[in-house]
Amino acid sequence: MAAKQIAVLFTGGTIGSKNNNGKMSPQAGGAYTLIESYTNAPDRRDVVFDTAQPLNVLSENIVPDDWNTLMDALGGLDKSAYDGIIVTHGSDTLAYSAAMLSYLCCDTPVPIVLVAANYPLEDERSNGASNFAAAIDFIAGESLPGVFVVYRNDRGESIVYLGTRITQCESFTDQFGSPYSVPYGQMVEGRFVRNEHPYNPFTDELRGRGGAFSSPWQQGKSRLESGLLYIKPFSGIDYSYYDFSGARKPKAVLHDLYHSGTASANAPGSHSLLRFAEYCGTHGVDLYLCPLKDSSEALYASSVSLIEAGVAFIENMSIEAALTKLTLTYSLLHADKEEIRDFVLNTSLFYEHIVPKQGRSEDNK
């Protein structure tokens, strides 16, 4: 059997860092320890690696221009020459980068798998080497086109996530999640086992994507930019602190919601999201609310009042997927307000809309 050809792009993060007297920072060449560790493992697959390091930062410091650099590196690869691509990444912003790459690489013919580590590789508690090995197994066994994340949780399970369906690592447990707690599957003894759930696409559906999806990224022409304001609600939030009257204002606002799809819409005075929505409209700033499971179900009065006011709710999508999709949209799509809204709400690039599948089952195919 011919050796698998895998490109590895290192970006820094904990998986490429060392602990220097209690201070962790990415080291030049540190991530290449992964290659050496895997090459020396007794149960390694026959793999030929091509490596590059387009970034070397802790992921909390990643900004949209770093995504541009990463996309330039990915765009420079002849994907037909590889069985898959692995991107090493820090855990802090992994969910955002995974979603962004899912959109920009929605037409990839090979799997792109992001991996991270909970501790530097030199620490015996680290899952970095395990995540890297599981990513190789996933690429070698499935060849599913798309963007994925493989990460071993605190139960020792190597979970596989769709790139648009992984949520931020939790502060106190250091564990990733997914909407509805439904990841795509897991690696079991080197083999991918799909999570048989109606929310998950079938693997033959991924294989059949072919050329049906076109990436919004144009090599050498597209550039992602900052331009969004993200607001997280809390009791007593005062919207008067957000001032768009000057020369500098956001292109759009993404406003998070409480778990029941609510916010302080009917609160008095400057605490009212309804009043803030009017303020955004007056200043030509688009406002989106997320997440909302399903607007067709019974809703609380505050949510109904926002819908009646014409505020755009992003349904059936995680906040991470929504935030990155808005960043992409307002950077790359030059269109009027209604076309932009339609793209965000109704165009699916890589399974960011979480809707159930109907009508058949699949035996881990």
Q: How far is CA 160 from CA 66, 91, 111, 320, 351, in A?
A: 25, 15, 12, 17, 14
Domains 4-207 and 228-346 share a fold: yes
Structure tokens at 243: 């001032």
Closest CA to 200 of 322, 47, 353, 306: 353
DSSP 198: T
Domain extents in the chain? 4-207, 228-346
pLDDT tens for each residue of 283-331: 999 999 999 887 777 678 888 888 888 899 999 999 999 999 999 999 9
Q: Which CATH class is domain 4-207?
A: alpha beta
Report which residue type is found at 155: R
Q: Is the peptide bond before 145 cis (omega within 30 degrees of 0)?
A: no
- 0.85 exceeded by the pTM? yes
Q: Work out the percent of the chain whose per-residue pLDDT is above 90.
A: 75
Which CATH number is 228-346 given? 3.40.50.40
What pLDDT sits at residue 212?
Answer: 75
Confidence check: pLDDT of 364 > 50: no
Supply angle C-alpha 143, 144, 149, rounded to 5.
Answer: 105
- Rounded Cα gap, residues 147 and 100, in angstroms: 10
Whole-Å CA distances, 331 to 60, 214, 228: 21, 17, 10
Burial profile 248-261: b = 16 or more Cβ within 10 angstroms, e = fewer = ebbbbbbbbbeeeb
